[in-house]
């Protein structure tokens, strides 16, 4: 299991388009991936789950992966968020 925290900095947070990009990237990996916000964890491959967290600009989230490609998965998702979803 591998996890890393990051602060979401893009204007709209993890809603609609950015959430879709996030899910598409998460689905490239075999590992189970979770997003945690304030003790609540959801499947990173679920749009409804991500939207239910209400992740806005400035929110700190923890990305947790467990599986054969967990390091690569967390790194790729952290990079995507750090790039502000290429906005």
Query: How do residues 38-67 score in pLDDT, each as one tens digit?
Result: 999 999 999 999 999 999 999 999 999 999
pTM score, whole prediction: 0.94
CA dihedral defined by 61, 72, 18, 11, rounded to 10 degrees?
A: 50
> pLDDT tier at 83 (50, 70, 90 boundaries)?
very high
CATH of domain 2-86: 3.30.1340.10
Torsion of CA 29, 55, 46, 87, to 10 degrees: -60
Provide the CB-side half-sphere exposure for 80 (13 A, CA): 19
Burial of 28 (0-12, 13-18, 19+ CB in 10 A): exposed
């Amino acid at each position: 299991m591998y996890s890393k925290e990051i602060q979401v900095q893009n204007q709209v947070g993890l809603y609609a388009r950015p959430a879709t990009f996030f899910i598409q990237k998460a689905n490239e990996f075999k590992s189970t991936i979770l997003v945690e916000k304030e003790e609540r964890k959801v499947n990173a491959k679920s749009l409804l789950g991500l939207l239910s967290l209400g992740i806005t600009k400035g929110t700190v989230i923890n990305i947790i992966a467990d599986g054969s490609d967990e390091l690569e998965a967390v790194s790729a998702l952290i990079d995507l968020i750090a790039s502000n979803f290429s906005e």
